[in-house]
């Protein structure tokens, strides 16, 4: 069956209505299983993507998935193991090089560029290098993020500031530097990695939750600003993924609170907290990021991938 034209828009019929040969008019949803009939969204082959916080975890999985989807992927990270404030080990230069190698193994170009997303000069230099070495930018994935746990009454001011610097200011600085390049290419995509923690505040995680709420509202503002320039901006809210954030921070805290042994506490938590009774993988989050990069006419949303652990 093939689409033969668009039906005139009449009352009770959506603008998406498509007439199929030998059939009644169908909605766009009816077309989903029929490969080749409906548009597949933005073609990613040959596009240039930048992923921050890409040395490991979710960022690495997104970089690899974008490469498999056809993008050349510049991977960036602070890549110096520690920032003096974050209370666990950050990624190293070797980790970042391994991500770039994985992109190249998928047959696409890559470059591993060190940048601290909290520093405007670093971010401007990073985007300058993307432009000069890759000819521009089509996709920005603002993924770099940190976490720390403490009750508000005992919250260290330097940790609060660092969480907001990385998780919020970093997203702003990357967007600001990327916008001229995206517009120069006639449009593109920004995906900001927020969190289910940005939708529901949790005791002991106030700074992290508040920072991720800020990412969600920043995303909505930016989506309205950039819509006329054909740049779609969306937030992705991962749920529960056993990266350093869990193994180094959340597992020990939860174990202390619940008495469940640290090696079982993640599984115990996701069994209790998700409809699907499991945590998510970095690859599942990466699939959603690729969807947001391909999607046409989707902007300003927060897409949650949490197995039912957050449904609002
Ligand atoms: P991760 O700790 O493995 O990855 C974060 C990356 O960001 C690291 O490679 C780190 O070196 C980098 N980074 C930290 N500070 C930086 C800076 N100033 N400049 C540049 N890079 C910096 O953690 P994960 O889980 O992969 O986190 C990725 C994103 O996903 C974060 O934004 C996080 O908040 C978010 N997220 C994670 C969830 C989880 O369950 N793991 C759930 C919801 C959201």
Neighbours of 128 (CB within 10 A): 12
Per the model's pLDDT, the better-predicted residue between 84 and 24 turns out to be 84
Q: Catalytic residue among 47, 169, 199, 212, which?
A: 212
- Clarify whether 6 is annotated catalytic: no
Distance between Cα 60 and ligand 1 center (Å): 10
Q: Kindly write down the DSSP assignment for every residue of 200-218, as one continuous string.
A: S--TT-HHHHHHHHHHHHH
Average pLDDT over residues 203-223: 98
Closest C-alpha to ligand 1, atom 4:
57
Catalytic residue among 208, 275, 277, 291: 208
User: What does the pLDDT read at residue 81?
Assistant: 86
To the query of whether residue 208 is one of the catalytic residues in this protein, the response is yes
Residue 264 to residue 251: CA distance in whole angstroms: 9
Question: What DSSP line would sit under 12-30, residue for residue?
Answer: T--TT-EEETTS--B-GGG
- Between 39-43, 52-56, 242-246, 261-265, the lowest mean confidence (pLDDT) is in 39-43
Ligand 1 environment, Cβ below 6 A? 52-53, 55-59, 77-78, 90-91, 116-118, 143-146, 166, 170, 193, 195, 238, 240-241, 243-246
Domains and CATH numbers, the chain: 1-38 (no CATH), 48-305 (3.40.50.720)
Report pLDDT digits (tens) over 136-163: 999 999 999 999 999 999 999 999 999 9
Task: Output the residue whose Cα is nearest ligand 1's atom 44.
Answer: 195
Q: Which residue's alpha carbon is nearest to atom 3 within ligand 1?
A: 57
Angle subtended by helix axes 282-294 and 57-68, to nearest 10 = 50
Cα–Cα distance measured from residue 167 to residue 103, given in angstroms and rounded to the nearest whole number: 25
CB 37 within 8 A of CB 31: yes
Cα of 201 vs centre of ligand 1, distance in Å, is 19
Whole-model pTM: value is 0.90
Q: Tell me: the pLDDT tens digits for 252-285?
A: 999 999 999 999 999 999 999 999 999 999 999 9
- 57-94 pLDDT, tens digit per residue, is 999 999 999 999 999 999 999 999 899 999 999 999 99
Report the pLDDT value the prediction gives residue 40, as an integer from 0 to 100. Answer: 66
For residue 17, the Cα-to-chain-centroid distance in whole angstroms is 31
Confirm if 239 and 304 have CB atoms less than 8 A apart: yes
Q: Are strands 72-77 and 110-114 parallel, antiparallel or unpaired?
A: parallel
Is the pLDDT assigned to residue 48 strictly greater than 50?
yes
- The structure tokens 């923690």 sit at 197
Alpha-helical (H) ranges within the chain are 57-68, 93-105, 120-134, 157-164, 170-184, 206-226, 244, 251-258, 265-273, 282-294
> Residue 34 pLDDT more than 50?
no
> 144 CA to middle of ligand 1, Å?
5
């Amino acid at each position: 069956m093939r689409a033969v034209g668009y039906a005139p828009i009449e009352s009770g019929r959506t603008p998406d209505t498509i007439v199929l040969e030998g059939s009644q008019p169908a909605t766009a949803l009816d077309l989903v299983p029929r490969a080749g009939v409906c548009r597949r969204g933005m073609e990613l082959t040959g596009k240039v993507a930048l992923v921050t916080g890409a040395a490991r975890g979710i960022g690495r999985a997104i970089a690899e998935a974008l490469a498999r989807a056809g993008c050349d992927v510049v991977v960036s990270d602070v890549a110096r193991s520690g920032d003096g404030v974050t209370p666990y080990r950050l990624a190293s230069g070797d980790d970042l090089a391994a991500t770039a190698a994985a992109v190249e193994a998928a047959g696409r170009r890559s470059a591993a560029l060190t940048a601290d997303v909290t520093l405007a000069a670093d971010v401007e230099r990073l985007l300058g290098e993307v432009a000069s070495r890759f000819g521009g930018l089509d996709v920005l994935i603002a993924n770099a993020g940190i976490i720390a746990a403490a009750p508000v009454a005992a919250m260290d001011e330097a940790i609060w500031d660092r969480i907001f610097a990385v998780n919020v200011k970093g997203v702003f600085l990357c967007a600001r530097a990327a916008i001229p390049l995206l517009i120069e290419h006639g449009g593109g995509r920004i995906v900001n990695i927020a969190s289910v923690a940005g939708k529901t505040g949790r005791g002991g995680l106030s700074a992290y939750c508040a920072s991720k709420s800020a990412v969600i509202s920043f995303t909505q503002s930016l989506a309205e600003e950039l819509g006329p320039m054909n740049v779609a901006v969306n937030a992705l809210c991962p749920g529960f993924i056993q990266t350093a954030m869990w193994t180094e921070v959340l597992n020990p805290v939860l174990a202390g609170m619940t008495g469940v042994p640290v090696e079982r506490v993640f599984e115990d938590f996701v069994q209790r907290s998700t409809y699907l009774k499991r945590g998510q993988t970095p690859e599942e989050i990466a699939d959603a990021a690729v969807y947001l990069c391909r999607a046409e006419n989707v902007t300003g949303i927060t897409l949650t991938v949490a197995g039912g652990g957050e449904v609002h």
